[in-house]
Amino acid sequence: MAEFDRGSLTLFGTRIVSELIGFVSLIYFARTLGATGLGVFFTFQTLASVLGVFTKLGIPGATVKRISQSESASQRGAYLAAALLLLVPPFLLVTAALVVVEPTVVAYADLGVVVPLLVLVLAVRAGARLAVTALRGERRIASSAGIELLGQVARVAVSVGLLLAGFGVLGLIYGLAAGPVSQAVVGYLVLDTRVARPTRADVASLFDFSKYTAGMEVSALAYNWGDTLVLAAFATKAAVGVYETAWKLSVVPLLGAQVVGVALAPSVTRWHEDGDWDRIESAFSEAVTAAVALVIPALVGAFLLGDAIISALYGFGSGGLIFLVLVVGQVPQAVKNVTQNTLFGIDRPAPVFWTNLLTLVGNVAGNLLLVPEYGMLGAATATVVTAGIAAVSQVAVLRRHLRLRVAWDTLGWQVLSATVMGGALVAVRPAVPTDSAVGVVGLVLFAAAVYGGCLLGHAKIRTRVVRAVPWG
């Protein structure tokens, strides 16, 4: 378990830095471009993310699985080459489709040069994603984390530089391409696996598993971008800007769950091959409590400070309620990050595919039903409901294979710590101005310190933290 914990901690640390960079940069972007300009960028980003699912078709996710199972360098190289080959046809098809429907895409995005920019971003993102997932397949979680951080730094640096140079929204889009370019170049340089000639069986094996990992990516698409995709069609670009800002803020507490899921999958794969079911069950129990460790206090914080955060930091007059609803949805999503990676690890991809398909259909249908009438609130509600359905469905499937246990003592301590944090916030808030960014950030840091201090008062949690650090 120590290897899993340390891999998680390394990835968590780099993603904390990455999220901090993204958090600060988004404040600058919002204040520079306003809600409407930011909405145009978010609409482009949504299109790139949606189309990216169809250009990758689950290939990077399947590459993690197959490379982690390979016992020789030549076999790993064959799978990497097979992945590169499989990425080409869908990319060409998506590019051709974009050219055909260019007028419609231009009108939807409200951006004249949207198609060539989409093709550029799709190409570099596919290459970068494959490099990062290949590193994870080699179980080099720390290296993949460093590459991810590099991409974030490059994206923000280029975006800020071009904004200062007067490029406006286009500056953010060029930054969106610069990040994955840096990831792809450095990722392939540090990768131990080298391309080798694949056999037809290698290609078939990768493709067979990619059908299921594509389902996971489609689910992520539905949860992360389905609401914005529909909202952009029915609402103003300003509404898109406010909603997507609230969304990006709400997923920050999901960081722990994402890290746990990424680090869990290769470890569960290895334990499954060794027949060590007890270890898998123990890891699942610990992973669930770790996954919700940041979401629980975020719920309390969003309830008490949501309006102040959106107003003081981003300058938007609305969005606090949307932020709170979206944070509620991170609870089932955190659990789902653990369940679906565990299912992949025990070689049960089919249930993940079908539950994710259910998520996609439900989320799109819910958004189409609610967004025209309720706007941003409808989008947030549909997303939360479908996240809950997906999580419950995957837990039900996993119970057929594992004895699922919840560490109620640890979970209860997390809830108690968040409650103490909330009480402390209520006590000090009257003395702190919440109409300024400094005051709001100060309250958030104070709340984090109270929650962290209370959390470390639990012996089991404290032991896990000590075990996870490199010198533990």
Summarize pLDDT for 300-348 with one digit per residue, the tens: 999 999 999 998 888 887 788 999 999 999 999 999 988 888 888 887 8
Q: Which of 220, 176, 217, 153 is nearest to 45 (CA)?
A: 176
Structure-block tokens of residue 177:
């391409």
**With contact defined as beta carbons under 8 Å apart, do 294 and 254 qualify?**
yes
**With contact defined as beta carbons under 8 Å apart, do 334 and 387 qualify?**
no
10 Å Cβ neighbour count for 326? Answer: 28
pLDDT at 449: 95
Q: Burial, 330: exposed, middle or buried (Cβ in 10 Å; 0-12, 13-18, 19+)?
A: buried
Residue type, 287: A
Q: How far apart are the first and last CA of the chain?
A: 13
pLDDT digits (tens, 9 = 90+) for 399-448: 888 888 888 888 999 999 999 999 999 999 999 988 888 999 999 999 99
Structure-block tokens of residue 26:
């988004």
pLDDT digits (tens, 9 = 90+) for 267-312: 787 888 877 788 888 888 888 888 898 999 999 999 999 999 998 8
Q: pTM value?
A: 0.77
* % of the chain exceeding 90 in pLDDT: 36
The H or E element spanning position 237 is helix 237-250
